[in-house]
Structure 1
């Protein structure tokens, strides 16, 4: 939990690293498309779980939320409270990725203010710098939420750099949702060494692209995103909580 990229190379690397499952949650991609691609790359050796990392709030005040086990799509660019309400209606597992990272994350106050809304807080992210991961662990510890680890791979080579091991089998999306929502014991681990640090730095550099040219492209060049709440696919269901 979780990756942004999914192709044959990612699957080969995941299996070589000994992973049993990947949570696939690409940016700005609607849930049906995520499900279709996840099913295409799942097999008896590797389960690919479809999920959505939803961007709540406007660009200057974003809080990302990772939802696993959604039955129907939830768009980006809705209010924080609106997203949480939509996840709750669907009994999805709701996770906090990269807490207190730049301007794209929930703070410890956000987590503490909604203790029943969040099933886990990320405690290790391969994209984060060491001091950022220390803050992640502090948020989980101080709010009493279980942890999880993630490669957060936007680049194929980062897959398998961090992982979460549950003390139970996870053979389906429903199994993973249940493990998260019931607080199943787990262990968060990651690779070490120069190679691991270099992969993390490459991911962090990629974040710079996402927040400069990538953002400009989204705002000015691409038109309405498929996950924008005004998209015809959402049939106006989120008009009351949209921020754009």
Structure 2
């Protein structure tokens, strides 16, 4: 929990690392497309779970939320409260990725104020620097919420650098959602050594692209994102909570 890349090489790497489940939540991709790709790469040895990391708020004030178990599409660029209300309506598991990381995250106050609507806080993210992961663990301790770990792999080689182990088996999307929402016993595991830390730095460097040229491309060159709430696919359902 969770990855942005998904292809044959990602699947092969996940299986080689002993991963049973991948949560697949690419940026700016609509839920039906995520589901189709997740189903394509799922088999008896690896379950790929479709999910959405929703960008709440406008570009200059983003707070990300990861929703697992959605039944209906949810766009980006809606209010933080609007996203939480929609996740609640769908009984999805709501996770806080990379808390207090730069300007793209929930902080401790956000999580504490909405603890009744959040199911877990990321306490280890392979893309984050050590001090950022310490902040994540501090947020989880302060709010009393369970933790989770993820590779947050935007790059294929990061898959399997960090993961979450549940005591009970997870064989379906429903199993995973139930485990997350119930606070089921788990532990966060990560690789170690120079290779692990080097790959984390490579992932973090990739963040520079995302927040420079990648952002410029999306703002000025790519046009309206398919997950923008004004997209015809959402049929105006989120007009009252649109922020951008």
Q: What is the distance in 2 between the residues matched to 1:145 and 1:100?
A: 15
Q: CA RMSD in A?
A: 0.3
Match of 1:114 in 2: 114
Match of 1:26 in 2: 26
Q: What is the distance in 1 between the residues matched to 2:213 and 2:115?
A: 36
Alignment of structure 1 residues 73-112 onto 2, 5 Å: 73-112=73-112
Q: What is the distance in 2 between the residues matched to 1:48 and 1:202?
A: 25
Q: What is the distance in 2 between the residues matched to 1:198 and 1:137?
A: 22
User: CA offsets per residue over residues 24-46 of structure 1, 9 Å max, x none?
Assistant: 00000000000000000000000
4+ runs deviating over 6 angstroms: none
Match of 2:38 in 1: 38
The yes-or-no answer on 1:206 pairing with 2:206 is yes
Q: What is the distance in 1 between the residues matched to 2:85 and 2:174?
A: 20
Alignment of structure 1 residues 1-244 onto 2, 5 Å: 1-244=1-244
Shift of residue 197, structure 1, vs aligned partner: 0.5
User: CA offsets per residue over residues 31-77 of structure 1, 9 Å max, x none?
Assistant: 00000000000000000000000000011110000000000000000
Q: What is the distance in 2 between the residues matched to 1:191 and 1:127?
A: 13
Q: What is the distance in 2 between the residues matched to 1:224 and 1:6?
A: 24
Unpaired runs of at least 5, structure 1: none
Shift of residue 213, structure 1, vs aligned partner: 0.2
Unpaired runs of at least 5, structure 2: none
User: CA offsets per residue over residues 199-225 of structure 1, 9 Å max, x none?
Assistant: 000000000000000000000011110
Shift of residue 115, structure 1, vs aligned partner: 1.4
User: Number of residues paired by the alignment?
Assistant: 244
User: CA offsets per residue over residues 177-197 of structure 1, 9 Å max, x none?
Assistant: 000000000010100000000
Q: What is the distance in 2 between the residues matched to 1:47 and 1:199?
A: 24
Q: What is the distance in 2 between the residues matched to 1:115 and 1:46?
A: 31
Q: What is the distance in 2 between the residues matched to 1:172 and 1:197?
A: 32
Q: Give the secondary structure class of the aligned counterpart of 2:237.
A: coil
